[in-house]
Amino acid sequence: MTTTTLSHGAGSPGAPTRPGVQIAVAGLTKRFGRLTAVDNLDFTVEPGRVTGFLGPNGAGKTTTLRMLLGLVQPTAGTATIGGSTYHDLPHPLQTVGAALESSNFHPGRSGRDHLRVLADASGIPTRRVDELLELVGIPVPARQRAGGYSMGMRQRLALAAALLGDPQVLLLDEPANGLDPEGIRWLREFLRHLAGQGKTILVSSHMLSEVEQTVDDVVIIANGRSVAQGPIESLRGEPTVFVRTANEDGLRSALLAGGLVSEPAADGKGGLTVRTHDIARVGELAFLGGVALHELRPLASDLEDLFFRLTAAPEHRNRNLGAPPPGTDLPPAPATSQDGGSI
């Protein structure tokens, strides 16, 4: 399945553009009786970047998204889009598209008719509906009744609804749920395509492994609190090389002579780790020192293990990973017409 260019402003030549829209959450808190679902949450989502909103089930992700959309009233703090709350946006339906996990469709109506109703109410041409159904990969199934849709089809239809008005901001709640591996790969490439147009994308998920190849930044929460946020590169930690040899003392000396420090591998099963991205340099120093190597490979960061450690005790592990790295100017988001998100 290939990603094509959207019409009505989404990357079309000569289409009018607007500055990107930032999402800002400050001191956001929501209590339901004695339960605190979201606790003093702070983060921003920048245009032109995909931000992963990560946390275990029940961490407060959906409640936060619903507060951003004005569906839940905060107990304290603010959740703004472009500096305004959703209700105060001058053109809210031209700014935000959302696909929440709880998106519903009338079981007796086809997916295409569902989108046509939204399009008619918003003054969007019917051809836009067919373009989006083709884009998300369900042009034929969408003519069937929604009551028979699989979870994956419902996810694709919800995404089409969120994109109906070509919004500048996308809020997606667990969008990969129910998708097969091909669908997950397509979603990954599609979100990168949209971010490349300057759109602001916030994707909630409890599966770090599914989003790490997609997102630029992460916000990780547990029990409603922030435990980590910043660029995904910062979460991965320092580049590390694993090396195994029968002569560890000789290898340590050879590496130290080249300015590299090694330490025993953390798993306690032997081998050394070296904090460097230059795996070739490690091999060269071992050769110059006359040390035979049995194994030499980059050591990938165990993001899932880090995720579980961060979310296990958030009151002791709150941290900020720093600002996004500097880069080139991001392209402005294209002009939008109307939002068809299922909110």
pLDDT per position as a tens digit, 208-246: 777 888 899 999 999 999 988 888 877 766 788 999 999
Low-confidence ranges of the chain (pLDDT < 70): 1-19, 101-103, 236-237, 300-306, 309, 313-343
CA 163 remoteness from chain centre: 17
The pair of three-digit structure tokens given for residue 298, joined into one six-digit string? 């980059």
pLDDT at 304: 67
- Domains of the chain, by residue range, sit at 17-235+305-334, 238-299
The pair of three-digit structure tokens given for residue 173, joined into one six-digit string? 């709640």
pLDDT at 300: 65
The pair of three-digit structure tokens given for residue 290, joined into one six-digit string? 């006359």
The pair of three-digit structure tokens given for residue 93, joined into one six-digit string? 């339906």
Q: Single out the residue of 316, 219, 206, 225 nearest to residue 36, CA to CA.
A: 225
Q: What's the CATH number for 17-235+305-334?
A: 3.40.50.300
Cα separation of the two ends of the chain: 27
pLDDT digits 0-9 by tens, 255-266: 999 999 999 987
Separation between Cα atoms, residue 54 and residue 307, nearest integer Å: 9
CATH top-level class for 238-299?
alpha beta
Residues of 88-97 as b/e, b for ≥16 C-beta within 10 angstroms?
Answer: ebeebbbbbb
pLDDT at 98: 94
Contact 271, 295 (CB under 8 A): yes
Look at residue 288 and give its three-state secondary structure.
Answer: helix
Please give the C-alpha separations between residue 83 and each of 13, 24, 57, 276, 335, in angstroms, as whole numbers.
29, 7, 29, 42, 18
pLDDT at 333: 33
